[in-house]
Amino acid sequence: MKVYDITGLEKGLDGSREALIKAWDRLHLLSVLQGLANRNGTQLYYIYKGKDGSLDRFWLDKMTEKGAFLEKEPIAYIKSFDSLLEEFISVFDGIVLYDGNVPATSCVATTVAGVENLAPVRYDPGPDSLYSFITKKLNIKKRLINADGSPMFTGKGVIPGTCRPSTGSAKCDAYIWAKMKYLDKGLCSKEFMGYYIDFAFTSLTNPASLNLATLTNIDFQVMHKGFVFDLGVWEDETVIDDPEQEKGLDLKTFRELLLSQYLQSGGNMVQISGFTPWNMKYTKTAGAMGQHGDVDTEWRHAELLSNYNCYMDADAIGSSDMTNASVFCQCPLRPRYETRKTDLDDLKQAGLIDEKGKVKKTNYVCIYVGDYDSAAWLYQRMPEIWESPERGSVPLGWAINPTLAQRFAFGMDYFRKTATENDTFVAGDNGAGYLNPGALSEPRRFSGLPSGVEKWREHNKKWFDLFDLSCTGFVIDGFAPAMTDELLELYGEISPDGIGGQQLPSRWGVYNKLPYIVMEDGGDPAKYREVCKNLKSGEVNFTMLRNILWMPGTQKEYMENMTEEMKGDVVFLEPHGFFRLMKYYCKGEKE
C-alpha cells in the first residue's frame, strides 16, 4: 500500500479565497483518485486529519501492528503529487469537467467520476490551475460546462441532453440531469448515497481552513459508485446557494432523487452518509439564509430519508471529515461478535434482587454512551475516547450503530477486540442506522410509498445478529409520527433487551415483553446536581441519561458525584442490566 501525506493542503492556506479554491480542487481530485484506486484492494492511504496527520497515523499504526489486517502489507511512502499521479493516473479514463459557477456540478462530477472512472476537475483556464495542469495529462471525456466556459446548466429552457423542461434552477437542473443519466439507469450504487456539501463551501466558509469540507469522505462513495448530492429540505424557503429558485424546489428535487434510489434498490434500506451542513446552508445559524433551526433541520432531513427507506451515517458538523474509508472498509469482519450482557444472576449477586425476589428500592440510572451514529465521529474521536486509560474503570454500554462497519470496518473490529469486561455494546440511534421508525409506517407523508417496516426488520436482523446486539439505546422520533404498535412489536423482536426513546407509551415500563424508557438529557457533567433533583428516594425508579462523546474519566466522575450527592441512593447499570432489572420489576422473573 502506498501512503501519501496531504497535510500540506491545509498548511498551505494563506487565508485567501483563491488559495482555498485551489486546495479544494486538488483535494477533490485526490479523494476521487483514492476511491478508484482502492477498488483493487488497499492501494492508497492518505495522511491528513489531526495535527500533522496524527489521526491517520494512529489508524495506520493500528492496522499494521501485529495481528491486524494489514500486518503483512508492504508500506511505501510517496513524496510528491507528481509521483502520486505517475503511480496512479491510470485509474482515470479521462476528465469530467465541472462548473464552479454552478456549485452543484461538483457533486455531480463526483458521481460521474465514480461511475465512469474520471478525474473531477473544475474549469479554470488560469495558467497555474489544476485544470491547466491535468488537461495536459488526460483528455476531457465528460462536460458539465460548455466548451466555451459558459454554463451548461442555466435553469432555463430544457435540461441539456434531455427532453425535460428546466426546473427553473441551474442547481436542481444539474441534479435532475445526473438522476436521468445515471441514477435512473441503474449505473449508481443500490446501497449507498452521499450527502456532502458542494463547491459552494469555498464561498460560505472561513477561507483559512478546509476543515468541514468533507471532500475526503467521498472516496467511499466513489469506490461504490454512490450518487452524491447536496440539497435543502424545507418547502417554505429558498436556499443560500440558489436564492432565486422558487421556494421548496430543493426539497422537490431531493424527493425525486430519493424515489429513484428507492426504485433502483427495490425498496431495500439505503445508507446515506453525510449530514446537513447546518453552519453554512439550510438553517438560520450563521446567517445561512434559513428560518429553521439546526436540530429542526436535522429532524426534517431524517424524516425525509426515512420516508424512502434510507438511513443516515451522520457525518455531522464538528467531527465530520473522514479520510481513508475506502481502506478501512476492506478489513474483514468476523462471522459474529459476542457482546457481554448483564443477566438476572448478575443482578442477584450484586444484591439488587434479594432472596425473596424483591428489587432493591433505589434509583437505577443508565447512561447512554453516545452518539456514535457516524463513522466519521468514530474515526475522529475514538483515538482519544477509546484509548483513555480510564476506560474500563466503570461499566459502560457503548451505543455504536452496527452499520458504521460499512465504512469503518477496521474500527468496529478493533473496538470489539480491545473491549474490557466493563465495556459492552448496544445499538445507537435508531438501531442499524439513524432514521425515524415512525416514518416507515403508512401513511408516509413525503413519499406515499408502501410501508418500509419489514425492510427495516430484515436490515436490523442482519446487523444485530452480526454484532450480537439486543438493545437499542435511543430511538429518535424527531418530527415523524410516534411508533405504532407494529413498530413496538418489531423492536420487541430485534431489540428484546430494551429501548430508550422519545415518544413512548409512558416514562418507563414494558410493552408486552419490551422494556422501554424515555431518554433524558444528562446535560453538562458539572451540573449533576440538577439531574439529582429529579431522582426519587425510597422507591424503585429508573432513569436513562444521554450524553454525547464524554470521556470515560468524565463518565466515572459523573457517577461518583451523583452517588455522593444522592448519599448512595443510586445504582448505575449498563443498558442490558438496566433493562433486564426493569423488565423483572414490571413483569417478574418468568418474563
Grid coordinates given for 555: 463518565
Q: Is the pLDDT of residue 591 over 60?
A: no
pLDDT of residue 536: 87
- Res 286 pLDDT > 90: no
- C-alpha angle with apex 351: 346 to 354, nearest 5 degrees? 105
Q: Which three cell numbers stand for residue 255?
A: 424527493
Angle between helical axes of 54-64 and 375-385 (0-180°, round to 10):
80
SS3 for 34-101 is HHHHHHHCCCEEEECCCHHHHHHHHHHHHHHCCCCCCCCCCCEEECCHHHHHHHHHHHCCCEEEECCC
Peptide bond into 436 cis (omega under 30): no
> What pLDDT was estimated at residue 490?
97
- pLDDT tens-digit series, residues 52-104: 999 999 999 999 999 999 999 999 999 999 999 999 999 999 999 999 999 99
Residue 590 has a pLDDT of: 55
User: What does the pLDDT look like over 156-210, one tens digit per residue?
Assistant: 999 999 999 999 999 999 999 999 999 999 999 999 999 999 999 999 998 999 9
Residue 482: half-sphere exposure toward Cβ, Cα within 13 Å: 8
Statement: residue 463 has pLDDT above 70: yes
pLDDT at 539: 93
Q: Rounded to whole angstroms, what are the CA distances from 450 to 89, 193, 213, 482?
A: 45, 21, 36, 18
Q: What is the pLDDT of residues 348-367, one digit of tens each?
A: 999 999 999 999 999 999 99
Q: Give the model's pLDDT for residue 416.
A: 97
pLDDT of residue 289: 81
pLDDT confidence of residue 129: 97
Given a cut of 90, whether residue 522 has pLDDT beyond it is: no
Three-point CA angle 576, 484, 461, nearest 5°: 50
Q: Which tens digits make up the pLDDT trace of 322-349? A: 999 999 999 999 999 999 999 999 999 9
Tell me, what's the pLDDT at 589? Answer: 60
Q: Convert the pLDDT of each residue in 292-326 to its tens digit.
A: 999 999 999 999 999 999 999 999 887 899 999 99
The residue among 484, 489, 547 whose CA lies nearest residue 514 is 489
Contacts of 86 (CB under 8 A, 6+ apart): none
Give burial (CB, 10 Å; 0-12/13-18/19+) of 165. exposed
The whole-number average pLDDT for the span 43-59 is: 97
Q: What's the rounded mean pLDDT across residues 525-535?
A: 90
Confidence band, pLDDT 50/70/90 cuts, at residue 588: confident
pLDDT at 171: 98
Average pLDDT, the chain: 95
Domains and CATH numbers, the chain: 2-328 (no CATH), 344-587 (3.20.20.490)
DSSP 334: P
- Which pLDDT belongs to residue 290? 84
**Predicted local confidence at residue 411, as pLDDT:** 98
* Cα–Cα distance, 244 to 237 (Å, whole number): 11
pTM for the full model?
0.96
One-letter amino acid identity for 389?
P
